[in-house]
Chains A and B, each alone.
Chain A
Amino acid sequence: MNAHDPTQVDPVWLRGMTRRRISRRDLFKYAGTGAGALGLAAFLEACGVSGTQPAAPPSEVGTPAWWAKQKQAGELNFANWGYYIDVKKGRHPSIDRFTQQTGISVKYQEVINDNYEFLSIIRPTLQAGQDTGYDAMVLTTNSPVLDLVIHSFKWAIPLDHSLTPNFNANADSAIKNPPWDPGNKYTMAWQTGLTAIGYNPKLTGREITSVKDLFDPKFAGHVGMMDDPQELGSVGLLAIGVDPAGSTPDDWHQAADFLKKQKDAGIVRSYYGQPYINHLENGDLWISQAWSGDVVQSQKSGYTDLKMVVPDEGGMQWTDNMMIPIHAQHPLDAIKYMDYVYDPYAAALIADFITYVTPVPAARDVIMNQLHDAVAANNPLIFPTPEMKARFKQYYKFKDNAEADEWNSIFNPIAQG
């Protein structure tokens, strides 16, 4: 197979390497190569990635005068997260009801899996000043992406609240005028949820009450943590007794050390995104950081052993927010839909199915008396009681991009094995 011995150096090659001769012809060749290299250098110089600033919208976009000019198009493209709306026989009853009422047909797309990833996808389009194809999208408060999009880049169209009567009348006070978007200038909440602890008492052998249980060596190899730096860092802060909202970089380092010890002791099985729930279901994980709605949906689909607890130290509260990305083609249809989900009946249809905290308290009566689902109506994870609300903790709010980078650079290396 192999004709020549690789250890033996070809004498012709050796001669070529040891003698240096440049003919006139070679000189031209080298000159050509040189010119090529210069051209390459120019090419390398030319490809830059421009910043996100230039796409600032024309100033009249989002003013009442601008909104008055908008016409209903009869269609709406809505980008949302997976498993986040009511489903019945392959259709979404709450959306069908909206189409009946308004004549607007909705293309509902479950295209968001992660805030950062979604921003990475839409960024080039928005930066080029073009329409993303979505008229409404949903981003989460626990991610710096939300602040980047609405405040740093100004990539959301300011809302006109004279067009949102349902929101004005029915929205929970907690999500009206929220700290992440004063005056709801750009956003309205889709749902709120908690990051708490999911567990299987049959496997842990005891009830779980504290975030410290995530650090118990007895559960070594069966503890699930989240790979998202905000989730991971916040639970680390809770574990060392610091409220994430008021934490300092010193606290972040201490929390990271604590999490590092947990990892080095072999307690953590892995750092998960969404799939943690499947591992809780099949018993690989005994206890895990968990999003409230997931555990309730799991219980409903037959995993009745699973339990969800808001630990003594508190659960991290996040809110997913609807907004209209800049250059959207059907803004009026979008704002009508965003307001429609604040209609108590629509909110009830959605909340009863997905079991996250609804932003419409009035949905409770509908669930109780019209949908006849007393279990859901009395579920403190959908309609939190005051005692439950007292245990909601807020994420740290980054002052700027550099601070978010600092947080990520502290907590990312832990999840990055």
Chain B
Amino acid sequence: MEQHLQSDRPGVARHGSRLGKRLAPYLLISPGGLWLGIFFLVPMLAMLSLSLQTGSIDTGFRQTWNFGVYPHAIGEYHKYFLRSLLYGGVASAATLLISYPMSYWIAFHGGRRKTTYLLLLLLPFFVSFVIRTLAWGFILSDEGILFGTLKSWHLLPSSFRVLNTGTAVVSGIAYNFLPFMALPLYVTLEKIDRSVVAAAGDLYASKRETFLRVILPLSVPGIFAGVLLTLVPAVGDYVNASILGGTENHMIGNIIQTEYLYNFNYPLAAALSFVLMAGMVIGILAYARVLGTREIEEYV
């Protein structure tokens, strides 16, 4: 086509190709852009709009620009936002502490069996999220395989329990989101140039110093991506709290679900969702500013 045009009307062709060149980047991003526009931006604006409406499900909801819903949502439910942030934060920290040594070992000492170890790490996650959480409930159960056994050995008092407490919720979240931390960490650690590590040794750095001053700083992008990938879904999670939680462990996701599905209070549910999302975006931007994002695209 281009060939034909060039031979026939060179001027137009050159103009056409210049236009094509200018349009190329836009054309290339348009599938992604459209995806974001249709499935993220429009629903988000619709949610924002819904949050400002008033009414009930029998009479319908009308736009009344009820900005008061936001102070109400934050004032009434800040406890749940803070608790979600706390649970998500503690769970992310726990996954980091658990997966760092694991990913490190696989990346540096896994040898030829690296893929096998990674597969073993991922194997439990072929089972559905809810089933895994229920199974976790079985493990943490009062008289279950773990605590039941410890109690029968008199290592724990008989009144000891974990299931239906905040600890159970946090451990459930940490367990469920572990691969999201372990995989980016593994990828960064695996990519670290071994000659840099060897150079640190040549320059008389102890093993501890090599780790603290070479490997750890080089793995920051992995930590950043891992924390992002676990913290964001963890804060919005409601499955763990509803299956493993007790009387005082509801997270903001549970409240949104209740308001939407059970109380039909769509504006409040939308406002809570929007506050959660906006809060997370602001938090992430601040976090990205501190840890830097330049190399993140490679890992996320």
- Name A146-184 residues within 8 Å CB distance of B: 148, 152-153
Query: Cβ of B53: which chain A residues have Cβ within 8 Å of it?
Result: 48-49
- Tell which of A2, A48, A270 touches B246, judged by Cβ atoms closer than 8 Å: A270
Of A48, A117, A401, A417, which is in contact with the most chain B CB atoms at under 10 Å from its CB?
Answer: A417
Contacts A117-B261, A282-B144, A284-B142; A49 near B50 (Cβ below 8 A): yes
- Tell which of B248, B255, B262 touches A117, judged by Cβ atoms closer than 8 Å: B262
- Name A41-67 residues within 8 Å CB distance of B: 43-53
- Name A1-19 residues within 8 Å CB distance of B: 1-3, 6
Please, what's the 1-or-0 string for B196-218, where 1 marks a CB less than 8 Å from any CB in chain A? 00000000000000000000011
- Tell which of A2, A43, A284 touches B49, judged by Cβ atoms closer than 8 Å: A43
B292 within 8 A of A: yes
Instruction: Say yes or no: B262 contacts A47, CB within 8 Å.
Output: no
- Name A27-82 residues within 8 Å CB distance of B: 40, 43-53
- Tell which of A40, A48, A120 touches B261, judged by Cβ atoms closer than 8 Å: A120
Q: How far is the CA of A284 from the CA of B248 in the complex (A)?
A: 17
Contacts A1-B292, A417-B248; A53 near B58 (Cβ below 8 A): yes
Instruction: Say yes or no: B246 contacts A153, CB within 8 Å.
Output: no
- Tell which of B50, B58, B292 touches A47, judged by Cβ atoms closer than 8 Å: B50
Instruction: Say yes or no: A52 contacts B50, CB within 8 Å.
Output: no
B6 within 8 A of A: no
- Name B241-279 residues within 8 Å CB distance of A: 243, 245-250, 254-255, 258, 260-264, 266
Please, what's the 1-or-0 string for A374-401, where 1 marks a CB less than 8 Å from any CB in chain B? 0000000000000000000000000001
Q: How far is the CA of A1 from the CA of B293 in the complex (A)?
A: 10
Instruction: Say yes or no: B246 contacts A269, CB within 8 Å.
Output: yes
Contacts A221-B161, A282-B141, A282-B143; A417 near B250 (Cβ below 8 A): yes
Of A49, A148, A269, A271, which is in contact with the most chain B CB atoms at under 10 Å from its CB?
Answer: A49
Which residue of chain B has the shortest Cβ distance to A416 in the bound complex?
B250
Instruction: Say yes or no: A45 contacts B63, CB within 8 Å.
Output: yes
Query: Cβ of A269: which chain B residues have Cβ within 8 Å of it?
Result: 164, 246-247
Please, what's the 1-or-0 string for A186-210, where 1 marks a CB less than 8 Å from any CB in chain B? 0000000000000000000000000
A90 within 8 A of B: no
Number of A-B pairs, beta carbon distance below 8 Å: 114
Range of interface residues on chain B?
35 or more
- Tell which of A45, A120, A284 touches B264, judged by Cβ atoms closer than 8 Å: A120
Instruction: Say yes or no: A221 contacts B159, CB within 8 Å.
Output: yes
A132 within 8 A of B: no
A275 within 8 A of B: yes
Instruction: Say yes or no: B263 contacts A51, CB within 8 Å.
Output: no
Instruction: Say yes or no: A47 contacts B49, CB within 8 Å.
Output: yes
Q: How far is the CA of A43 from the CA of B44 in the complex (A)?
A: 12
Instruction: Say yes or no: A401 contacts B292, CB within 8 Å.
Output: no
Q: What's the tally of chain A residues with a CB closer than 8 Å to chain B?
A: 40
Query: Cβ of A50: which chain B residues have Cβ within 8 Å of it?
Result: 60
Query: Cβ of B48: which chain A residues have Cβ within 8 Å of it?
Result: 44
B78 within 8 A of A: no
Instruction: Say yes or no: B262 contacts A51, CB within 8 Å.
Output: no
A212 within 8 A of B: no
Instruction: Say yes or no: A282 contacts B138, CB within 8 Å.
Output: yes
Q: How far is the CA of A48 from the CA of B249 in the complex (A)?
A: 34
Instruction: Say yes or no: B63 contacts A48, CB within 8 Å.
Output: yes
Instruction: Say yes or no: B45 contacts A40, CB within 8 Å.
Output: yes
Query: Cβ of B217: which chain A residues have Cβ within 8 Å of it?
Result: 1
Query: Cβ of B56: which chain A residues have Cβ within 8 Å of it?
Result: 51, 401
Instruction: Say yes or no: B57 contacts A51, CB within 8 Å.
Output: yes
B33 within 8 A of A: no
B150 within 8 A of A: no
Q: How far is the CA of A270 from the CA of B168 in the complex (A)?
A: 13
Instruction: Say yes or no: B220 contacts A49, CB within 8 Å.
Output: no
Q: How far is the CA of A148 from the CA of B45 in the complex (A)?
A: 30
A263 within 8 A of B: yes
Which residue of chain B has the shortest Cβ distance to A282 in the bound complex?
B141
Instruction: Say yes or no: B143 contacts A1, CB within 8 Å.
Output: no
- Tell which of A46, A48, A120 touches B61, judged by Cβ atoms closer than 8 Å: A48
A268 within 8 A of B: yes
Of B141, B217, B221, which is in contact with the most chain A CB atoms at under 10 Å from its CB?
Answer: B141
Could you list some 24 contacts between A and B, CB below 8 A? A2-B291, A44-B45, A44-B49, A46-B49, A48-B53, A48-B63, A51-B58, A52-B57, A52-B60, A53-B59, A53-B60, A116-B262, A120-B261, A120-B264, A153-B58, A263-B247, A269-B246, A282-B138, A282-B142, A282-B144, A284-B164, A401-B58, A412-B258, A417-B248
Chain A residues within CB distance 8 Å of chain B? 1-3, 6, 40, 43-53, 114, 116-117, 120, 123, 148, 152-153, 221, 263, 268-271, 275, 282-284, 401, 405, 408, 412, 416-417
Chain B residues within CB distance 8 Å of chain A? 45-46, 48-50, 52-53, 55-63, 138, 141-144, 159, 161, 163-164, 217-218, 220-221, 243, 245-250, 254-255, 258, 260-264, 266, 289-292
